[in-house]
Amino acid sequence: MIGVFKTNVVCEQDAKLILGECTDFFPSWQVNFDLEDCDKILRIDSFSETIIIEQVKNIVTKFGYAAELLND
């Protein structure tokens, strides 16, 4: 399963903290940011688990940002 989120993360340091938090909760996820994209994309690849959208939003919100799942 792949989840692509539009965010308002602008700080590389905060992006790293968010990535760390995501992998702490879900170690099997492959998570990365594309802060150069206009939508500040957070991409999650999960090969063994369902991506819990609300949990991802909660993690991003914890750091003062917002995330919205982009539909295909």
Q: What is the pLDDT of residues 14-63, one digit of tens each?
A: 999 999 999 998 898 999 999 999 999 999 998 877 888 999 999 999 99
Triad 40, 66, 42: Cα angle to 5°: 35
The confidence score (pLDDT) of residue 72 equals 62
Q: Domain spans of the chain?
A: 2-69
Pick the CATH number of 2-69 from 3.10.20.30, 3.30.1740.10, 3.30.70.100, 3.40.50.2000: 3.30.70.100
Q: What is the pLDDT of residue 71?
A: 82
pLDDT at 67 over 90: yes
Alpha helices, DSSP H only, in the chain? Answer: 12-25, 53-62
